[in-house]
Homo-oligomer: A and B are copies of this chain.
């Protein structure tokens, strides 16, 4: 298949790469704005980056290890350590060494973390729905599938 962009016409500042970066930044900023307005999450200064960790932990009943979290979201292990430091300091997550394998750190939400989860889910959904307000369900699915194809291709 022919290349989409050619040296004659390629404009780095208008092309897909930048556009994706802009959309991502705007989405995160919009979610952060809504989080700050929340009675419960605002004072805790929960951010859009911390959202995904709490959501991932809420999805399972049993305790999960940090490395398992990292694999599941292709996240740097060092970044995860410090992310968990912040979430633990806010009282949303509890760490404990696994008795079976003392290299592992088991993670679970505290009661505050469990209380935060439905609010985080609702807020992120609201921002997405608002951003997709003139999209049909088919257009949204199309966008998702195009992005998934892109994601599969990038790594070659």
Contacts and interface: CB of A to CB of B under 8 A. Distances in A.
A52 interface: yes
A45 interface: no
Given A10-B121, A10-B125, A16-B143, A1 B135 contact: yes
Task: Work out how many copies of this chain go into the complex.
Answer: 2
A99 interface: no
A115 to B, nearest CB: 16
A130 to B, nearest CB: 7
A121 B6 CA distance: 11
The number of chain A residues touching the other chain, given as a range, is 35 or more
A131 interface: yes
Contacts of A27: 17, 20, 154
Interface of A: 1-5, 7, 10, 12-13, 15-28, 30-31, 51-52, 55-56, 59, 73-74, 120-122, 124-125, 127-137, 139-140, 142-144, 146-151, 153-156
